[in-house]
Structures are given as C-alpha cells and as structure tokens.
C-alpha cells in the first residue's frame, strides 16, 4: 500500500540536564536545552496510509528492539488522537526504526510526536498547539518538545517549553556504546542531590556551561559511557561532549563537518561495535 503521509522523527538531544528533587507526583523538575538532528538519515521515519483500523508494522535496523510491544507510544498516540475526534477511520503505520532504542535521544517520544503530526494530516484533523501539546504530555514528558522539533528550553517535567531562536547549526556526532539504558534505571541510580539550577542565556554558552546530572549515575550502570565520552573529548575540534538525557548515547559538538567526520572515522575504527551518527543540529 502506497504511503500517503511521511513524517520524520528526529533524534532529540539534551545539551544539558538539571534534575531536581522528586516531587509529590513522582516526577522530577527538570531544566534542559533540547535540540534536534537535521536530515532524513538522522531520524526514524513514519509512513502512514488510510486503512480500516489502526495498525503498526516495524522495519529498520533497530526494529527488533520494539518487537513484542503491543502498546508502544506510536499506537498510544494514534488511539488517543482517534478517541478525541470522530469518524477518522484507521491508519496503516510503518515505523522505520533507524535510531537505537532506550538510548537517551528521545526516539520513542519523537516517534509518538511524528504519529500525532502524520495522523492529523492523514485524518484532516486541525488541533491548536495547546490541545496537541496537552495530549502529547499525557503520554510522556518529552513528547511536547518533539511535536515542533525545534530547539527549546524545557522545564517542569519537560512540558514547559521556551523556543530558542539563535541555536547555531553546529555539526553533531552521536555515539552509543551499544547498551540500552532505561530512563527509570538512570533516575533510580541518581544520588538525589539537587546541584542547583542552570542559567539559560545565549544557547551555546548555556550548553557549554551546563552539565547532565544523570551522567555519573548512568556511568555507574554502563561504564562504557565514560569510554565514549573520553573518545569524544579527545577529538580534534570538539566544542562540547556530554551524555544526552538518561543515556547511554553521548554527543559531540564540532565547529566543522570535517572535524566531526574525522572523529567519527577514528572512533569507528577503534570501536567498530559502537553506533555512530554524523549529523547536524536542526535550527
């Protein structure tokens, strides 16, 4: 069946992450600068076509990581959107999973956001931004940021967003040691110390001055994260290397694509089992 709608679900990268003490509702207040990868090769892809019912099929290099999930975020987004409207019919959805699962780059959240966008187009649904973001937040804290997929400061549990207009389109290298790390495990391993709020200001300066409060806990669970960071920090032309989100993916920001590609080649030669993605920041 020919897909009528095609949506990209780019990787979400947390350039910094401040984690506050757990609230009474079980969530942690967060501060983060979220950015997204640019280009089709740095994204999962959703293809959607009309059908009698909602269905999901999987392909791509990381599809095996989602096999057996009967209620993943893409299906939940589809069912929620259908329940809020009437007479929309179904959709045959194909998710091409190019990004690793449970890797700290918002793959599932971005997939769900792409499902909201694609199904709204397929079903000719027009929702205001506030309604769509509220629906997205009910499924996951990261999904509202992934709806627009533009650089933004995140607060609250991730649903309070302030768009960033001056994020430079730097070259970006993502590296994952090939180990899945569940978000809940990283938060449970965190030492619980609130290290204080981070300043925003100019986005690149804020990123350089920031930190990821989950990084030490994640390294304790997956020691190879420290090896990834050391490999990135030793690269020529590196501006910033840090873990993204709850890990285990780490990122390196470079001023030029040539420096990024040289780092990717070296790391790939030394660590061929590590997953790498050379891309850029989406403005």
118 in the same domain as 13: yes
Residue 79's CB: how many other CB atoms inside 10 A? 12
Is 12 catalytic? The answer is: yes
- Residue 197: closest CA among 15, 16, 22: 16
* Residues 6 or more apart whose Cβ sits within 8 Å of residue 24: none
Domain hosting residue 238, numbered range: 171-280
131 in the same domain as 182: no
118 in the same domain as 18: yes
Sign (positive or negative) of CA dihedral 8, 80, 154, 182: negative
Pairing of strands 54-59, 90-96: parallel
Residue with tokens 């792409």: 114
Band of residue 16 on the pLDDT scale cut at 50, 70, 90: very high
Q: Work out the mean pLDDT of the chain and round it to a whole number.
A: 93
The DSSP 8-state label assigned to residue 165 in this structure reads S
Angle at 175 between CA 15 and CA 151, to 5 degrees: 25
154 in the same domain as 18: yes
CATH number, domain containing residue 191: 3.30.70.890
Q: What is the pLDDT of residues 129-167, one digit of tens each?
A: 888 889 999 999 899 999 999 999 999 988 899 999 889
Question: Among the options 44, 111, 142, 213, which is catalytic?
Answer: 142
89 pLDDT more than 90: no
Q: What is the pLDDT of residue 2?
A: 55
By the 8 A CB rule, do 233 and 241 touch?
A: yes
Q: What is the pLDDT of residue 69?
A: 63
Q: What is the pLDDT of residue 164?
A: 94
User: Considering all CA atoms of the chain, what is the largest pairwise distance in Å, rounded to the nearest integer?
Assistant: 56
Cis peptide before 248 (omega within 30 of 0): yes
95 in the same domain as 192: no
185 in the same domain as 144: no
24 in the same domain as 148: yes
60 in the same domain as 121: yes
CATH number, domain containing residue 29: 3.30.230.10
Q: What is the pLDDT of residue 65?
A: 76
Task: Using the 3D structure, point to which of 163, 181, 213 is the last residue of a domain.
Answer: 163
Q: What is the pLDDT of residue 3?
A: 59
**How many distinct structural domains can be found in the chain?**
2
177 in the same domain as 144: no
The structure tokens listed for 179 are: 């180990």
By the 8 A CB rule, do 104 and 10 touch?
A: no
Q: Classify 33 as helix, strand or coil.
A: strand
16 in the same domain as 106: yes
User: What percentage of the chain exceeds 70 in pLDDT?
Assistant: 98
Q: What are phi and psi of 133, to 5 degrees?
A: -70, -35
Task: Using the 3D structure, point to which of 163, 186, 203 is the last residue of a domain.
Answer: 163
Q: What is the pLDDT of residue 50?
A: 94
Q: What is the pLDDT of residues 168-201, one digit of tens each?
A: 999 999 999 999 999 999 999 999 999 999 999 8
34 in the same domain as 148: yes
Q: What is the pLDDT of residue 32?
A: 97
- Stretch 228-251: mean pLDDT, rounded? 98
Band of residue 34 on the pLDDT scale cut at 50, 70, 90: very high
- Stretch 61-80: mean pLDDT, rounded? 85
Helices (H), the chain: 73-83, 107-122, 129-139, 143-148, 183-189, 203-209, 215-221, 224-233, 257-270
185 in the same domain as 158: no
Q: How far apart are CA 86 and CA 81, in angstroms?
A: 9
Question: Among the options 12, 44, 97, 213, which is catalytic?
Answer: 12
By the 8 A CB rule, do 199 and 206 touch?
A: yes
Residue with tokens 């971005």: 110
1 pLDDT more than 60: no
70 pLDDT more than 70: no
Task: Using the 3D structure, point to which of 163, 185, 208 is the last residue of a domain.
Answer: 163
Lowest-pLDDT choice from 23-27, 212-216, 241-245: 23-27
């Amino acid at each position: 069946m020919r897909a009528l709608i095609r949506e990209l679900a780019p990787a979400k990268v947390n350039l910094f992450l401040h984690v506050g003490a757990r609230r009474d509702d079980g969530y942690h207040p967060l501060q983060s600068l979220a950015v997204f990868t640019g280009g089709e090769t740095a994204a999962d892809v959703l293809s959607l076509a009309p059908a009698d019912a909602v269905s999901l099929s999987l392909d791509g290099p990381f599809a095996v990581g989602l096999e057996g999930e009967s209620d993943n975020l893409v299906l939940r987004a589809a069912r929620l959107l259908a329940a809020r409207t009437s007479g929309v019919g179904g959709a045959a959805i194909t998710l091409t999973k190019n990004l690793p699962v449970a890797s700290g780059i918002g793959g599932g959240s971005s997939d769900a956001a792409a499902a909201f966008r694609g199904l709204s187009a397929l079903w000719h649904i027009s929702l205001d931004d506030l309604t769509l973001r509220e629906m997205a937040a009910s499924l996951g804290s990261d999904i509202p940021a992934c709806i627009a997929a533009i650089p933004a400061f995140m607060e609250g549990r991730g649903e309070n967003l302030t768009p960033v207009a001056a994020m430079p389109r730097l070259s970006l290298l993502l590296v994952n040691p090939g180990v899945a790390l569940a978000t809940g495990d990283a938060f449970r391993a965190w030492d619980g110390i609130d290290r204080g709020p981070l300043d925003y200001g100019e986005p690149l300066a804020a990123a350089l001055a920031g930190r990821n409060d989950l990084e030490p806990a994640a390294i304790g669970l997956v020691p190879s994260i420290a090896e990834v960071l050391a490999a990135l920090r030793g690269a020529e032309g590196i501006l910033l290397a840090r873990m993204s989100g709850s890990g285990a993916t780490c990122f390196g920001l470079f001023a030029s694509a040539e420096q990024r590609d040289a780092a990717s080649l070296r790391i790939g030669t030394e660590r061929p089992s590590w997953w790498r993605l050379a891309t850029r920041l989406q403005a």
